[in-house]
Amino acid sequence: MLKQDVEEIRTLIARHKRWDVIFALCGTAALMVGILTFLTLFVGMVLDGAPRLNIDFFTHFPSRRAENAGILSAWVGTTLVMLVTAAAAIPLGVGAAVYLEEYAPKNWLTDVIEINVTNLAGVPSIVYGLLALGLFVYQFGFGQSILSAGLTLALLILPVVIVATRESIRSVPAAIREGAYALGATKWQTTYDHILRYSAPGILTGVIIGMARAIGETAPIITIGALTFIAFLPEPPISSTFPFLSFEWLMSPFTVMPIQMFNWTSRPEAAFHENAAAAGLVLVVMTLSMNGLAIFIRYRLRKNIKW
């Protein structure tokens, strides 16, 4: 009887191991489909766009002639819009997350806020564009400007930053807080000197994920009136006279890389499609550079943390 039970157990274990192998093979196949699809598209974009990557492509304005067209206004506009987005989204997102996690009382109001923040992370981007059109463009009078675009994308990534920051704060051991309070630290001292410092790598990851999403968004930018063809640059942020800073560029018209790519892909000439591929390659490199910088900073921060 005992021998029969042992054989049944061995058969059951062997059956489960077969299912494990089948699941691993299915997962590997699904992973390879995604990776091969991305590699195919990326290699095609490199082959089409790499010949157009030269100094003139980065220093020339868009043109009706494909061989003379460049992305100067597009990459400058993207950089300035991302600057406004980061300046608005990071302080608001981190501050809101710290308040909800460390200071807010646990009641029905905070529960409603948490549910809405989580749901807002999945709202389609076009909804944010319509909201910004009525609020920033018309109600506040910012017009179709870099400021409106930056604030729109800041609203778009704000839920992502809040959720990622809260999860990072929750990962900090309770012993850190208890030790700080035992040594006489105040609530703010504990939060600023310990909680934020230990959760900084996770916060940075959430910020970069949000920024990477914002840099490729098209729908909300089109909604608030981004130009598809622009042959001038906004005012420089730095001036030669005191106080050496200028904010006139915030109200300037703009375009961004995704809009420029959309403009070129909508044209029938193959040369413009090559320009779009080159611009897409630049956009991918910008996004990967942001993620690479975040990984490096996160590694250095984690290396310096002593739990």
Percent of the chain at pLDDT exceeding 90: 6
**Considering only 6-20, 48-62, 168-182, which range has the smallest mean pLDDT?**
6-20
Q: Are 110 and 121 in contact (CB under 8 A)?
A: no
Tens digits of residue pLDDT in 36-91: 988 888 888 888 888 888 888 888 888 888 888 888 888 888 888 989 999 999 99
Q: Are 94 and 191 in contact (CB under 8 A)?
A: no
Average pLDDT on 280-307 reads: 77
What's the pLDDT score for residue 304?
66
Distance CA 25, CA 32 (A): 10
Cα separations (Å) of 138 from 2, 141, 143, 148, 225?
Answer: 81, 5, 7, 10, 12
What's the pLDDT score for residue 42?
85
Distance CA 66, CA 62 (A): 8
Distance CA 271, CA 51 (A): 11
Residue 170 has pLDDT above 70, yes or no: yes
CA atoms within 13 A on the CB side of 304: 11
Q: Which tokens belong to 168?
A: 């990072």
- Three-state DSSP class for residue 230: coil
Alpha helices in the chain (DSSP H): 2-49, 55-59, 72-98, 108-120, 125-132, 146-170, 174-182, 187-190, 196-215, 219-223, 257-265, 270-304
Q: Kindly report the average pLDDT of the chain as a whole number.
A: 84
Q: Tell me the pLDDT band of 298, cut-offs 50, 70 and 90.
A: confident
Q: Are 52 and 278 in contact (CB under 8 A)?
A: yes
| Amino acid in the structure at residue 168 | S
Instruction: Give 280's contacts (C-beta < 8 A, 6+ positions apart).
Output: 45, 49, 261
The residues spanned by each domain of the chain are 2-51, 53-304
Q: Tell me the pLDDT band of 3, cut-offs 50, 70 and 90.
A: low
What's the pLDDT score for residue 91?
92
Cα separations (Å) of 206 from 120, 149, 167, 238, 250?
Answer: 15, 21, 10, 30, 26
What's the pLDDT score for residue 92?
92
DSSP 251-283: GS----HHHHHHHHHTSS-HHHHHHHHHHHHHH
Tens digits of residue pLDDT in 19-33: 888 888 998 999 899
Closest CA to 102 of 198, 183, 201: 198
Q: Which tokens belong to 183?
A: 């040594």
What's the pLDDT score for residue 6?
65
Second-level CATH architecture of 53-304:
Orthogonal Bundle (1.10)
Residue 5 has pLDDT above 70, yes or no: no
Residue with tokens 């005012």: 235
Residue with tokens 């994920």: 209
Tens digits of residue pLDDT in 115-157: 888 888 778 888 888 888 888 888 888 888 888 989 999 999 9
Q: Residue 238 forms beta bridges with which residues?
A: 245
Better-scored residue on pLDDT, 244 or 37:
37
Distance CA 235, CA 147 (A): 13
